[in-house]
Amino acid sequence: MRRPSPPPASRNRSTPPARARPVPLPPELEAIHADYIVTLDRVPVGENTRRVYASRTRQHFAWFADAIDIGTSPGRSMPSGSVCRAW
């Protein structure tokens, strides 16, 4: 005798998925990112593309700020034990 299959997962989508909080940036990079967002709003791309570009740019700025904090810059090797080694 076959076991009955489990009921399908709920498809209730009334609550949108939670979004992650933006990565904090130093004030000088926050200002540059805000200017980027203003410029990006003028570009004829879809809303999802705009959201992804803004998010990834913020993540890049956060990485760059961390690289400066630990005494390195993009294109140079990271010190041993660095957060970037996890990638």
- pLDDT digit string (tens) for 39-58? 999 999 999 999 999 999 99
For the chain, the average pLDDT equals 76
**How many whole angstroms separate alpha carbon 72 and alpha carbon 77?**
7
Residue pair 58/22 in contact (Cβ under 8 Å)? The answer is yes
Segments forming the whole domain that contains residue 56: 45-72
Which runs of consecutive H residues, i.e. helices, occur in the chain?
27-40, 47-69
Structural domain contains residue 61: yes
Structural domain contains residue 40: no
Structural domain contains residue 39: no
Structural domain contains residue 67: yes
Q: Encoding tokens for residue 61? A: 């700025």
**Total domains, the chain:** 1
pTM (two decimals): 0.57
Structural domain contains residue 59: yes
